[in-house]
Every structure is written in C-alpha cells, then in structure tokens.
C-alpha cells in the first residue's frame, strides 16, 4: 500500500506547475491524489501529508484534493492536513462484517471520517485477484455508505498492442458501475491507468489517453445519458511526471491525473502546482 495522493487535476491547473492548458470543456471540477505501499513509517506519512497541505493556500486553483493513505495512517493524516484536503482509503472489502480476516469495511473507514475510496486498481486486480464482480460490489458498498469512489480501469501491454484498450476499458467500466444509480454518479470518478505505464516510466501519449477517455465518456453516455457523462471526472494515471502533465491536461476529456510515485516528491507535486 502506498500512501496514495490521487490527483484529479484541472485542465487549467497543472499539478506540477503553471499550465497553459485551456479550461475543461464541461467545467468538471478537478480532484487530486495517490501514494501506494509508501511511506514506511507514520512520521514519514505525516511529513508528506503536512507538506502537501501546507502548499494549499488561498491562491491555490479551485480543485478537490484527496490523499489516499494506508489504513494505519488515516486518522493521523487527517490530524495534520487541517481540512485542506480529503483523506481517502486505498480499498475496502464489500462486506459489513463476518469472517473476513484482515478486511476493512466501509463502515469502519467512514467512522474515522473517510470521504473517498479507491476500487479496481490494476495492482488489486492482478496481485490480489479482485474481479470485476468483486470491484462492482466494492463500488456499490462505498456509495451505499455515502462515500465517494474512484474506479480504476486500464489495459495490459498485450491488450494495448492488440488494439483492445477501448474494449477492455469499456468492459471494466460497464461491469464496475453495474447497478450504480444515476443520482449517485456525482460521487464517482474514473481513473484510466494503462497497466503498461504504471511505474514503468512509460506514459500514454496525450492522443492515446484522450481517445480512451473519450471512449469511456461515450460508454457512460450510453449507460446513462450525455449530460451525466459530461459531468463525470475521468483522470489519467501511469507514470505521470512534471514533464508529461501539461500535454495530458490539454486534452478535452482528461480531467486530471492520478499521480503515484511523483506525489511523494513534495517539491514537484506539493509545492509547484499551487503557484499556477
């Protein structure tokens, strides 16, 4: 688990510095965040969190910020961010109670003040064997508890090379949101993370990412309606860095970036974007 600062960044404000990108076509309010199995101690977690929180000032662009942290750091992280950002969890089990040793329920994390929860991250799918059915159950449980969910989708390298990115993401999107009511979609964000780009240094070109984001928005329009699809925020994630962020954010259907390792660099992630 990384202390994940999952960032949904506005097209008009780079997470890493001043942006030349145009405003979002549908004025979707940005959201920021992501960590993972980092940092290793409570002290490190609080240093990172307080550094990011201190970078949020009155001149910061109007964005939502969510820091997804390992369970053991949730309450202490909340204590140092001073309400400047939301503190989210990296996952839950879709059960309220029972014989699920090691599991964390939605009621548990809600009771300590969690607003956002991740679901469907590729590492959870691949390493822990979480299926689309299981991820859908997580999404429904999170929403039923009154919290917000960030549903992660994305294709493998083999699927990308076979030109299956669109169809894979469409399947994960449809199955992940099965049974989710239209009126609950204001508490849903989508994160497109091509698996082949996560932690590899490889980044989908802005054009590739835009094409998948547009496909996802079309799928959402078919599942619900165009107005609803236009409202839902879709992030890009996968080795996002200060060098790649602006070109990605310039795309009309990319509403933000789910930042992993780079969010642990307070200078690049925390300090520079507030100047934009």
Residue 85 CA to residue 81 CA, distance in Å, equals: 7
What Rg do the C-alpha atoms of the chain give, in angstroms? 17
Q: Based on the number of CB atoms within 10 Å of its own CB, is 188 exposed (0-12), middle (13-18) or buried (19 or more)?
A: buried
Catalytic residue, chosen from 90, 145, 193, 213, is 193
Contact between residue 53 and residue 66 where contact means Cβ atoms under 8 Å apart: no
Q: Nearest to residue 209, comparing CAs of 258, 172, 174?
A: 258
Q: How far is it between the farthest Cα atoms of the chain?
A: 52
Residue 16 CA to residue 96 CA, distance in Å, equals: 39
Query: Residue 232 CB: number of other CB atoms within 10 A?
Result: 20
- Please confirm, yes or no, whether 95 is among the known catalytic residues: no
- Please confirm, yes or no, whether 121 is among the known catalytic residues: yes
Residue 188 CA to residue 221 CA, distance in Å, equals: 14
Structure tokens at 268: 């690049």
Catalytic residue, chosen from 121, 123, 145, 155, is 121
| Chain centre to alpha carbon of residue 208 | 19
Structure tokens at 180: 């989710």
Q: What are phi and psi of 164, to 5 degrees?
A: -110, 10
Residue 141 CA to residue 206 CA, distance in Å, equals: 33
Active site residues: 121, 193
């Amino acid at each position: 688990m990384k202390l994940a600062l999952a960032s949904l960044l506005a097209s008009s404000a780079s997470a890493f510095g001043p942006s030349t990108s145009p405003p979002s076509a549908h004025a979707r309010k940005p959201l920021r965040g992501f960590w993972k199995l980092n940092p290793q101690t409570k002290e490190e977690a609080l240093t990172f969190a307080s550094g990011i929180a201190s970078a949020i000032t009155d001149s910061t662009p109007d964005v939502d910020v969510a820091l997804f942290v390992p369970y053991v750091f949730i309450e202490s992280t909340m204590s140092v961010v001073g309400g400047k950002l939301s503190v989210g969890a990296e996952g839950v089990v879709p059960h309220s109670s029972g014989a699920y040793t090691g599991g964390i329920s939605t009621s548990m994390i809600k009771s300590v003040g969690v607003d956002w929860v991740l679901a469907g991250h590729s590492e959870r799918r691949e390493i822990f064997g979480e299926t689309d059915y299981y991820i859908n159950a997580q999404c429904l449980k999170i929403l039923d508890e009154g919290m917000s969910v960030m549903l992660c989708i994305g294709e493998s390298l083999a699927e990308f090379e076979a030109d299956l990115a669109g169809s894979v993401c469409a399947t994960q999107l449809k199955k992940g949101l099965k049974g989710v009511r239209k009126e609950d979609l204001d508490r849903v964000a989508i994160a497109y993370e091509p698996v082949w780009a996560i932690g590899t240094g490889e980044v989908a070109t802005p054009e590739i990412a835009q094409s998948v984001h547009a496909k996802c928005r079309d799928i959402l329009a078919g599942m619900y309606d165009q107005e609803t699809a236009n409202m839902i925020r879709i992030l890009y994630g996968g080795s996002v860095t200060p060098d790649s962020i602006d070109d990605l954010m310039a795309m009309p259907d990319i509403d933000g970036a789910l930042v992993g390792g780079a969010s642990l660099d307070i200078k690049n992630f925390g300090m520079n974007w507030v100047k934009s």
